[in-house]
Amino acid sequence: NKEVIVVGAGLAGSEAAYQLAKRGIKVKLYEMKKVKKTEAHKSENFAELVCSNSLGADNLANASGLMKEELRRMDSLVIKSADNNRVPAGQALAVDRDGFSQEITDKLRNMENIEIIEEELTEIPEDKIVLIASGPLTSDALSKKIGEITHSDYLYFYDAAAPIVTLESINMDIAYRQSRYGKGDGEYINCPMDKEQYYNFYNALITAERAPLKAFEEEKIFDACMPVERIAMTGERTLVFGPLKPKGLINPKTDKMDYAVVQLRQDDKEGKLYNLVGFQTNLKWGEQKRVFSMIPGLENAEFIRYGVMHRNTFINSTQLLDESLKLKTKDNVYFAGQITGSEGYVSSVATGMMAAINIAHRLEGKTPFILDDRSAIGAMVKYITEDKKNFQPMGPNFGIIRSLDERIRDKKEKYSKISAIALEYLETKLDEIK
Ligand code: FAD
Which residue's CA is the nearest one to ligand 1's atom 31? 51
Q: Is any atom of ligand 1 closer than 6 Å to the C-beta of 353?
A: no
The Cα 47–Cα 349 span in angstroms is: 10
Residue 18, Cβ density class (10 Å: 0-12 exposed, 13-18 middle, ≥19 buried): buried
Q: Is the CB of residue 348 less than 8 Å from the CB of residue 131?
A: no
Q: Is the CB of residue 371 less than 8 Å from the CB of residue 418?
A: no
Q: How far is the CA of 396 from the centre of ligand 1 (A)?
A: 17
Residue ranges of the chain with pLDDT lower than 70? Answer: 1, 214-225
What is the structure's pLDDT at 390? 80
The Cα 226–Cα 160 span in angstroms is: 8
What is the structure's pLDDT at 397? 95
What is the structure's pLDDT at 217? 63
Question: What does pLDDT average to over the chain?
Answer: 93
Q: Is the CB of residue 178 less than 8 Å from the CB of residue 164?
A: no
What is the structure's pLDDT at 406? 94
DSSP 36-50: ---SS---SSSS---
Question: Closest ligand 1 atom to the C-alpha of 14?
Answer: 51
* Residue 25 CA, distance from chain mean position: 29
For the stretch 368-414, pLDDT in tens is: 999 999 999 999 999 999 998 888 889 999 999 999 999 999 999 99
Q: Beta strand 114-117 with 308-315: parallel, antiparallel or unpaired?
A: unpaired
What is the structure's pLDDT at 326? 98
Residue 243's nearest CA partner among 258, 230, 229, 228 is 228
Q: How far is the CA of 37 from the centre of ligand 1 (A)?
A: 11
Neighbours of 405 (CB within 10 A): 5
What is the structure's pLDDT at 267? 82
Angle between helices 77-84 and 97-109 (to 10 degrees): 140
The Cα 378–Cα 140 span in angstroms is: 31
* Residue 289 CA, distance from chain mean position: 19
Q: How far is the CA of 81 from the centre of ligand 1 (A)?
A: 18
What is the structure's pLDDT at 218? 59
What is the structure's pLDDT at 220? 53
The Cα 133–Cα 363 span in angstroms is: 19
Q: How far is the CA of 138 from the centre of ligand 1 (A)?
A: 8
Q: How far is the CA of 50 from the centre of ligand 1 (A)?
A: 7
Q: Is any atom of ligand 1 closer than 6 Å to the C-beta of 91?
A: no
For the stretch 115-152, pLDDT in tens is: 999 999 999 999 999 999 999 999 999 999 999 999 87
Does the interface predicted TM-score (ipTM) exceed 0.90?
A: yes
